[in-house]
Amino acid sequence: MAHRFLRRGGPRRRTLSAGVVVVRRDPEKGWLYLLLRAYQYWDFPKGMVEPGEQPLEAAIREVAEESTITDLHFNWGHIYKETPPYARGKVARYYIAETHQTEVSLPVNPELGRPEHDEYRWMTYEEARELVSPRVRPILDWAQAIVTGKQAVPAPEETEKAPG
């Protein structure tokens, strides 16, 4: 069921994008977060959920398309957190996954003729918190609480089923 948000002129359908908070463990720095920069905005890999696609499938696809990371382990289940609506009713849903892949590439998007992002960085929580926007900060805080064990992971019935 699509959510509707009220706006001047009538209700608006919710537009859902899906992404992954990609983390990896560094022996010296602890958990590192993959952030991508487009213009001046830092965010986690994410993109639009295509028609007929499940949000988790879209999130996994977007990580591969935007960063070439395909080694994703959903150690905390398929839990997610969504942003409040922004940019004309868009909502971003983020999952959390660990990777052991350290190499990242920013491939050319065929529709744009250039990479979607200008830069990537593996950052500590503190570094990431300095750079992400207020919209993304609660997602980062949630992911940090989950990966460090400061917040309990919900029971399996409260999480999304795996694709396939």
Residues of the chain with pLDDT under 70: 1-13, 107-108, 114-115, 117-118, 155-164
Query: In 10 A of CB 144, how many CB atoms?
Result: 21
> Long-range contacts: 22-28, Cβ < 8 Å, 24+?
22/63, 22/67, 22/69, 22/72, 22/97, 22/98, 22/99, 23/96, 23/97, 23/98, 23/99, 23/143, 23/147, 24/98, 24/99, 24/100, 24/101, 24/102, 24/122, 25/98, 26/122
Rounded to whole angstroms, the Cα distance separating 10 from 164 reads 37
Q: What pLDDT, on a 0 to 100 scale, did the predictor assign at position 164?
A: 53
- Structural domains of the chain sorted by starting position, each given as residue range(s) with its CATH number in brackets: 13-152 (3.90.79.10)
Q: What pLDDT, on a 0 to 100 scale, did the predictor assign at position 154?
A: 72
Q: What pLDDT, on a 0 to 100 scale, did the predictor assign at position 104?
A: 86
